[in-house]
Structure 1
Amino acid sequence: MDIKKVVIVGGGTAGWLAANHLGKALFNTENVSVTLIESPDIPTIGVGEGTVPAIKKSLQSFGISESEFIAQCDVTFKQSIKFSNWLDQDNHGKGNFFHHLFDMPSPMGEDLTPLWLSKQGHDYASCVSPQFTACEALKAPKKITTPEYAGSLGYAYHLNAAKFAKLLAKNGREKFHVEHVIANVSEVKLNDSGAVSSLVTDTHGELKFDLYIDCTGFESLIIDKALKVPFVDKSKQLLVDRALVVQVPTDVNESIPPFTLATAHQAGWIWDIALPNRRGVGFVYSTKYMDDKTAIKKLDKYLGGGLSDFNYRFLPMKVGYREKFWHQNCICLGLAQGFLEPLEATSILLTDFAAGYIANRFPKSVAKMEDIQTQFNQVMKYAWERVVEFIKLHYCLSDRTDSQFWIDNRDPKTIPDELARKLSLWETYVPNREDFFSKFEVFDLENYLYVLYGMKYKTQVDALTDEQMSLANKQSLHLAEIGKQLTEELPEHRELLNKIKEHGLQSI
């Protein structure tokens, strides 16, 4: 039987990313339709979303103008995640920080990590990339004359998730003819073999499709409630389980950081994402180590008081992922697939990755589905496990001792085996490309370098020869000069955003 009718259940960022990926891939396929069913009663969860650079490729492939995207979705540029106080204040100073930059480290050829290891007197990112200086100066990654989706420095975005979903919805409907149905799904019917046969809705009756994509968020209406696919719990490795979130208005003349600020506290960390008119702030913590009242007091202190003047809410976080991501004729994406806390913006990243993978390997018939399904499940499990390891890296490398939360995060029983193996290897060898052998690495060599050595990991390496030291010093100093030059040439972040909204960028 051919697969002719595809349905995406659930809107939001996940649903409409999937709709655009599939709509584009299947647009010229005869007699194949893509429908998205969206409830009128379920709001978007996002409170200020962060992305990673890979999202640019998807947006460009959908034919979305970067200028339109920036103007309509309250977008700001994101060049880094700045981690503050993730290390012990007595050992590294109050307000210690490091950058996980989006530009490649050591771009001039020589790996400058051994040079930094021989000195360790300054920030790793400032040694290996000119982007550090531009970020600290709050500069934009490009000029108004730079074409869309190009930049002098690597970047992603911060955005208003609700407005982003609306832009994706408009694009999917108009460019790729995705049918948009507003309805609540009241029942999922299964056939005798256990596959989904139809959906019962409140406004459109019973609807039948060939392939069902579950984007219903934490509710996981199809993959969990109907198909009973088990959940793989990762709470023993990643200890945070709740977020207290709030949106705080900002002055339209205030400087906008071109990075996500991630500030560690006694039992977790705080995200702080600046959009043009507001900040999305989330206090992420573990209820085992901190109660809700203390969390409220801590967030109020972080904001300088006045938390009670805003609408704040608690978000429970069930940390883990589905045992299968594709079961029978149902694929889950977004929060229905899993959630591993907001650190490093992994939610949109994994959704975009998975939706693109399905679009590129879309099964034309039920007979072809099994092979693709098996491979998809293997790839996504590999990707999720690598993300677990990368997030855990931030916690287990911390030398903070001010609470049991940080001490327990260094307990070997909480560290994934593969991460422990790599950390043991990296005690005597600087990571290299061969340590990340799969094309499905979600976080690669450069990501690990910035976090490992941003957190002062002590790899013991042989001393550099005089010739090696001279060459490395020369390249590092040259990168510093490039950083100064970029800081002089690039516009202030808010200034560029205002110009883009007024004039737009050059289309490619």
Structure 2
Amino acid sequence: MAEPISKVSIIGGGTAGWMAAVHLVTRLNSRAEKPVEVCLIESPEIPTVGVGEATVPTMKRWFQELELDESAFIERCNASFKLGVRFANWDHDINGNPLNYVHPFDGLGDDIAGYNPAYYFHKFNDPGGAGNYSIYHSPITAIVEGRKGPKPLDAENFEGVLNYAYHLDAGLFAKYLREIGIERGVTHILDSVNDVELDQDGFVSAVQLQDSGRHEVELVIDCTGFRSMILQQTLGVEFEPYDKYLLNDRALAVQLPHLEPTRLDPCTRSTALGAGWSWRVPLYSRIGTGYVFSSAHRTDDEATQEFLEHLGPMAKGAEPRAIPIRVGRAKQSWAKNCISVGLSGGFIEPLESTAIYIVDKALGWIVDFFPDKDFSPVLSNRYNKLSESLYTEIRDFIVMHYCTGTRNDSDYWKAAREDIIVPDSLQAKLDLYKHALPTEDELDSGFLFSGLSYLIVLFGKGYFKDVTFAADRAISAEDWERYQNVLHGVTAELITNLPDHHQLLTQIRSRHAPKDENQALRDAINKTVANQPVITLPGQLMAPDISFAGQPDNGGNIL
């Protein structure tokens, strides 16, 4: 039997590095007779690029499996809840008017008399195409517009009436995980890697640290970001660019204060602009926003001007920073004794908040296929196959947003639809869906995007306009009406009983309020008794307002 791995060396910190450290030290060691040493080396000189501030619902499972405290995470990481993604202005109707829809995390779910509810929507509510299917299948659009949270005020960690994910501050998240990792036994070395040594078989044998000297390596996890110092630079793994599928290669990013802090959207927003799209991630006490664009269609200065005009008054004095992005993946995520995690292995524009999800999946597979010192290629081959399938699924879903687009108002949107290559794997799906709507059984991989995800996006783009399905002759308006009545009842009950999103977060944060906040509360009470002016306290409740859908996107809230 081969000798077991006794040490894992993670090179690079940030979100990916510290997620890897906490995941591996917990999963490998919490019940192990002989623990594996988990060591993280990060440079004090190289800034990290946060892989994203928005997540998908599997993040909740990741926290649960690693026995992390949800309410502490929410307070420490300035987090908020996310129920879906709002897409605005990505497509236009035949009159050139913008189309909007929500990609929700939850739907009513049940078939109607054995048929997908989407067939009913298409026949009875979408005769002209470009319909918002989520309104007819899910309560989430109404919940988002009402700015409601996904759980009652007294719910325990991870309990929820609705499926949800999180928005988080990537810098605070890395710091939070670092503290947990060190507490659980991770060895943290703050030092710069000057050189990487290979043995006679091409495996990484050691890294040379600037201050600490030689650090021997058994299994190395490359979390060095876009540089991919070990996997690509040292081991020479080839990079497969996705520029023939996706045009965007630059991003602007900036942090802004809330104009109305208590009106907190429980969703990410993606608004299409002239040469790409702008994200908006509402954290508890600030907004993370940016513009992903094509440098072939906008210079940095042009993109900055357009972005600031889009944001309006809230961007006064803001100075977005430009970030080059390399879209694509390493052809091998695992080579020799090195496994890439995060940006070092690949990146796809964050339209569906997949970056942290890719890290999560990679870490799960590392544990599932954890090697010994023989590093059997059977393990790395399987890992690489799964990784390739994951990137392919996400790439195809993102490409679908562009290649099925209907905008004709700029050269960029025409090029994003007509000049890119549509992968064969995606084209096969799109051809099929003109004849039969997607089901879970026929999806090739199904890691993340369900049949409902495809339906929400394609209906929102009018993809099924003038299509007649065989199922149309077998479905009745009466069945559809009953289904809608149930949905309306469920939605009304949720709107009535779920708390305001900001109110819910304030309640959760109070469970882990720092001592200085408690002191502020005592001071306020004392000032009230003394008839002195009272300071404004965090957490004051506001009645929910659900009458604002359709307001112009001037940097405030339209959801």
TM-score of Structure 1 vs Structure 2, range by shorter chain: over 0.9
Highest CA radius of gyration, 1 or 2?
A: 2
Structure-2 separation of matches of 1:402 and 1:413: 17
Task: Indicate the SS of the match to 2:376.
Answer: helix
Q: Look up the match of 2:504.
A: 496
Q: Look up the match of 1:331.
A: 339
Report if the CA contact (8 A) 2:74-2:509 is conserved: yes
Task: Indicate the SS of the match to 1:353.
Answer: helix
Report if the CA contact (8 A) 1:47-1:247 is conserved: no
Structure-1 separation of matches of 2:52 and 2:80: 11
1:214 aligns with 2:222: yes
Structure-2 separation of matches of 1:389 and 1:190: 36
Structure 1 residue 473: Cα displacement = 2.1
Structure 1 residue 173: Cα displacement = 1.9
1:129 aligns with 2:129: no
Structure 1 residue 412: Cα displacement = 7.1
Q: Cα RMSD (Å) of the superposition?
A: 2.0
Task: Indicate the SS of the match to 1:13.
Answer: helix
Distance 1:412 1:461, change over 3 A: farther
Report if the CA contact (8 A) 2:196-2:230 is conserved: yes
Structure-2 separation of matches of 1:97 and 1:266: 16
Unaligned runs of 5+ in 1: none
1:152 aligns with 2:161: yes
Task: Indicate the SS of the match to 2:255.
Answer: strand
1:382 aligns with 2:385: no
Counterpart amino acid of 2:23? H
Q: Look up the match of 1:442.
A: 448
**Stretch moving more, 463-472 or 152-161:** 463-472
**Stretch moving more, 166-175 or 379-388:** 166-175
Task: Indicate the SS of the match to 1:480.
Answer: helix
1:370 aligns with 2:377: yes
1:114 aligns with 2:116: no
Q: Deviations over 1:337-362 (max 9, x none)?
A: 11111110111111111111111221
Structure-1 separation of matches of 2:246 and 2:443: 22
Distance 1:398 1:105, change over 3 A: farther
Q: Look up the match of 2:274.
A: 266
Structure 1 residue 423: Cα displacement = 0.3
1:26 aligns with 2:28: yes
Structure 1 residue 432: Cα displacement = 0.9
Q: Look up the match of 2:302.
A: 294
Report if the CA contact (8 A) 1:262-1:269 is conserved: yes
Task: Indicate the SS of the match to 1:180.
Answer: strand
Distance 1:321 1:105, change over 3 A: farther
1:403 aligns with 2:410: yes
Structure 1 residue 167: Cα displacement = 1.4
Structure 1 residue 455: Cα displacement = 2.1
Q: Look up the match of 2:551.
A: none
Q: Look up the match of 2:526.
A: none
Q: Deviations over 1:389-425 (max 9, x none)?
A: 0001111111000112221222275211111111011
Report if the CA contact (8 A) 1:107-1:129 is conserved: no
Counterpart amino acid of 2:232? D
Identify the match of residue 102 of structure 2 among 78, 94, 99. 99
Identify the match of residue 149 of structure 2 among 140, 149, 165. 140
Identify the match of residue 476 of structure 1 among 478, 481, 484. 484
Report if the CA contact (8 A) 1:300-1:307 is conserved: yes
The sequence identity of aligned pairs, in percent, is 36
Task: Indicate the SS of the match to 2:205.
Answer: strand
1:7 aligns with 2:9: yes
Give TM-score, length-normalised by structure 1: 0.94
Report if the CA contact (8 A) 2:336-2:375 is conserved: no
Q: Deviations over 1:247-279 (max 9, x none)?
A: 111246340111001000121100011112211
Task: Indicate the SS of the match to 2:154.
Answer: coil
Report if the CA contact (8 A) 2:107-2:139 is conserved: no
Task: Indicate the SS of the match to 1:189.
Answer: strand
Report if the CA contact (8 A) 2:240-2:329 is conserved: yes
Counterpart amino acid of 2:41? I
Task: Indicate the SS of the match to 1:383.
Answer: helix
Structure 1 residue 46: Cα displacement = 2.7
Task: Indicate the SS of the match to 2:470.
Answer: coil
Structure-1 separation of matches of 2:266 and 2:278: 17
Unaligned runs of 5+ in 2: 514-559
Identify the match of residue 55 of structure 1 among 46, 56, 59. 59
Identify the match of residue 283 of structure 2 among 275, 285, 291. 275
Task: Indicate the SS of the match to 1:140.
Answer: coil
Q: Look up the match of 1:73.
A: 77
Structure 1 residue 306: Cα displacement = 6.5
Distance 1:327 1:262, change over 3 A: same
Task: Indicate the SS of the match to 1:441.
Answer: coil
Q: Look up the match of 1:188.
A: 196
Structure 1 residue 444: Cα displacement = 2.4
Report if the CA contact (8 A) 2:405-2:461 is conserved: yes
Task: Indicate the SS of the match to 1:49.
Answer: coil
Task: Indicate the SS of the match to 2:353.
Answer: helix
Structure-1 separation of matches of 2:295 and 2:391: 24
Give TM-score, length-normalised by structure 2: 0.86
Structure-2 separation of matches of 1:214 and 1:128: 42
Counterpart amino acid of 1:12? G
Distance 1:502 1:227, change over 3 A: same
Distance 1:72 1:413, change over 3 A: closer
Structure 1 residue 296: Cα displacement = 1.2
Distance 1:264 1:243, change over 3 A: same
Structure 1 residue 454: Cα displacement = 2.3
Task: Indicate the SS of the match to 1:367.
Answer: coil
Structure-1 separation of matches of 2:78 and 2:475: 50
Task: Indicate the SS of the match to 1:304.
Answer: helix
Aligned residues: 501
Report if the CA contact (8 A) 2:52-2:355 is conserved: no
Q: Look up the match of 1:421.
A: 428
Task: Indicate the SS of the match to 2:352.
Answer: helix
Report if the CA contact (8 A) 1:115-1:473 is conserved: no
Structure-1 separation of matches of 2:212 and 2:87: 48
Q: Look up the match of 1:452.
A: 458
Structure 1 residue 369: Cα displacement = 3.1
Report if the CA contact (8 A) 1:132-1:483 is conserved: no
